[in-house]
Each structure stands twice: as structure tokens, then as C-alpha cells.
Amino acid sequence: MALTTELGRQLQLREVEGLLLQAATVDNWSEIQNFEAKPDDLLICTYPKSGTTWIQEIVDMIEQNGDVEKCQRAIIQHRHPFIEWARPSQTSAWNICSPCNTCITRTFPPDFKGVEKANIMPSPRILRTHLPTQLLPPSFWENNCKFLYVARNAKDCMVSYYHFQRMNQMLPDPGTWEEYFETFINGKVAWGSWYDHVKGWWEIKDRYQILFLFYEDIKRVSKSPSEEPLSGLCFWEGYPEEFKCSNVMLPSPQDPKHEIQKVMQFMGKNLGETVLHKIVQETSFEKMKENPMTNRSTVPKSILDQSISPFMRKGTVGDWKNHFTVAQNERFDEIYRQKMEGTSINFCMEL
Ligand code: A3P
């Protein structure tokens, strides 16, 4: 996995406790593991490319009572510290974004670690992670924190991750699509196996304060009003009644704010219809793609090269169909069945 482009591609993934991670994270592992969570922390948890930025913006809009200006106070990477993030030691000059006057970036040294940012943040804190359950700093469990998990179907996640690794100079070059297909299904990507990650969080969701959401469900409710409603999106076998996909439970008409309302209630907030409507609008893919605080346009090209693939790429459900061959799809489905056997999750990948 060692590659040799000018800056990031020298970086190799390293293994810690059976999980592949960026080397800088592994170097700071004990500090990350000793991170002290607080009882009123809310942790946003995702496997990479599952809509983390999207749910962060939704959560922040809820937290700020729908005040767009307040959500513009900083780039999204700084609003919710990424607890396992550390500056790659191989890079001599690291700037997560260009200096600007509107963003709180200037108050952080450019190479501040995620845990350092979190430590100086006033409570109640909203933090984020891609870590699987078994590698989360134990204090999160000890303090019975709230966790907001977003899962996205594996095929779309793989496609999104592939394009992300093409443009992200801090991750190994993904190689060809065929090569990446193997890498992904074998869990040889940063943050490991999609299957283990999603299963791990799903299996404990009733034991802790975990709100488990699906990208596909949020997509359904956040699409622009001009789009036709999606139908038959998913079938949640064994899923708790109150969380069942309303496409199945309530074929029509849809409540467009269903998932956002769940997040709001989970956060203990009570916002009116007008504010919820505004949140739906402001967190649409189109809006977030144009928003410099969410679209990563402030990150230098030497780190995220958006001329290769934009960070806000397509934001759709089912883009895997434009990438998977028939043979890859059949193979994937078989592997998926084996790996997910025994779980009650049924992702809607057939769209
Ligand atoms: P695609 O690459 O499929 O377009 P993450 O934030 O976890 O890295 O996830 C990135 C993925 O979420 C990208 O998927 C991105 O386009 C998508 N995304 C971000 N904001 C979105 C939004 N408002 N609506 C739908 N998808 C969004």
C-alpha cells in the first residue's frame, strides 16, 4: 500500500488492534484511547463516506436552531472535532485550510489534533469519529454518551470511498476500480471493514443511547421538492417499529422531515415546522455543494484535489450501478450475505 506521490501518497496505512488507520492516528493512539468523554457529549459516528458531513450539518443546524449564519462560523471539520485525527508527521507544512476571517480556523494552530480541539471545546460538545465500537475510547461508554450513527449501503460507500481515495492525497492511491473492489471487500481500507463497522454499531444499538440512521432514509427526506418521491426504498426486516422506513410503512404521502425530526428529538431539541423546513432546505446536497464551510474548498489541493473528484461528488443512492460489473455485483452479493449473516439489517442496495 506504499505509494510515492509528492506529499500524502507517501503515507501508508498502519494497523492498530487489528484495524488499518492513518499512521498519524496510530502514532497518537494512546492519547486517543485516553480521551476523556463527558456525559453530555454527542458523538457522530460513521464508516467513512456514509454522509458524515451531511449529518454534521444537520446536527449543527439543529443545535443552532436553524441559524444559517451561526453554522457559517467555521468549516465543518472544526465545528465537530474528529477525535482520532492527527497531523501526519511526514508532512512538514500542514494547513487544513487557508487562513480566512470568517472561520475559527485561525484560533487553532493548524496542526491541532482532534483530541486537543475537543479538550478546549465548551460543553455540551458534539464530536465525530469513524472508529468501530471496539476501538472507541472507553470513556464514551463509561459516561453513557449519546451516539448518532449513520450507515450507508456498502456498494455506494465503496464507490464514494474509491473516488475519495483518488482525490485525497493523505490516503493510499486506490489503484484501478478492479483493484479497489478487492481492497474494499477485504477491509483493507482506512477504518477497516464496512461489514464489521456497521454490524458492530448495529448490534449494540439497544444497549446504549444510540440513534441509528440510514443515509438512504435521510436522502429520501432531503431531496429537492421537484424530485419524484422514491418508492419501495428499503425493507427493514427486524427493525424496531418506530424506526421502520416510512416508505414501506407509509407509502404516501411522506413526511419530508422524518429523519431530521428523529435527530432533533434525540438531541433534546424542539424546533417548529418552519425551522425544520429550513434545515431540510439548507442541508440539501445542492446547497452543501456550494457552501465553502461544507464542501472542503478551503482545503489545499495538495491534500484534497477536487479537480480529480469533488468532495461533494454526487450525493445519490445507487451510483454503484455505474461502477459495478454484473460479475462484481454477483460476487459482492454473495460476500455480503456471508459477512452479514445473522444480522437483522437489510440495506436497500437494489435501487
Ligand atoms: P458521494 O461520493 O456518493 O457523492 P462523508 O461526509 O462521510 O465523507 O460522505 C461523503 C458522501 O456524502 C459523498 O457521497 C457526498 O456527496 C455525500 N453527501 C454529502 N452531503 C450530502 C447531502 N447534503 N446530501 C446527500 N449526500 C451528501
Residue count of the chain: 351
Cα distance between residue 112 and residue 215, in whole Å:
30
Is 213:44 a contact under the CB 8 Å cutoff? no
Is 179:339 a contact under the CB 8 Å cutoff? no
Q: Which residue has the cell 467513512?
A: 48
Question: Which residue ranges form the domains of the chain, and what is each CATH number?
Answer: 1-89+111-221+261-340 (3.40.50.300)
Under DSSP, the state recorded for 255 is -
Q: Which ligand 1 atom is nearest residue 314's CA? A: 4
Cβ(318) – ligand 1 distance below 6 Å = no
Q: Which ligand 1 atom is nearest residue 163's CA? A: 2
What residues contact 206, with CB distance under 8 A and at least 6 apart?
none
Cβ(54) – ligand 1 distance below 6 Å = yes
- DSSP for 93-125 reads S--SS---SSSGGGGS-TT--HHHHHHTSPSSP
Cβ(312) – ligand 1 distance below 6 Å = yes
Within 87-225, strands assigned E span: 126-129, 146-151, 209-214
Cβ(51) – ligand 1 distance below 6 Å = yes
Cα distance between residue 54 and residue 57, in whole Å:
5
Query: What is the full per-residue pLDDT of the chain (351 aa) written as tens digits?
Result: 444 444 546 568 999 999 999 998 999 999 999 999 999 999 999 999 999 999 999 999 999 999 999 999 888 988 999 999 987 765 544 445 544 444 444 445 556 799 998 998 999 999 999 999 999 999 999 999 999 999 999 999 999 999 999 999 889 999 999 999 999 999 999 999 999 999 999 999 999 999 999 998 888 754 334 444 333 334 333 333 443 443 333 333 345 588 999 999 999 999 999 999 999 999 999 999 999 999 999 888 888 999 999 999 999 988 999 999 999 999 999 999 999 988 888 676 554
Among 22, 14, 18, residue whose Cα is nearest residue 168: 22
- Specify the residue with its C-alpha closest to ligand 1, atom 12: 51
Q: ipTM of this predicted complex?
A: 1.00
Residue 196 vs residues 131, 187, 207, 234: alpha-carbon distances, Å: 11, 9, 18, 21
* HSE toward the beta carbon, residue 145, CA cutoff 13 A: 25
Residue 80 annotated among the catalytic residues of the structure: no
- Specify the residue with its C-alpha closest to ligand 1, atom 25: 315
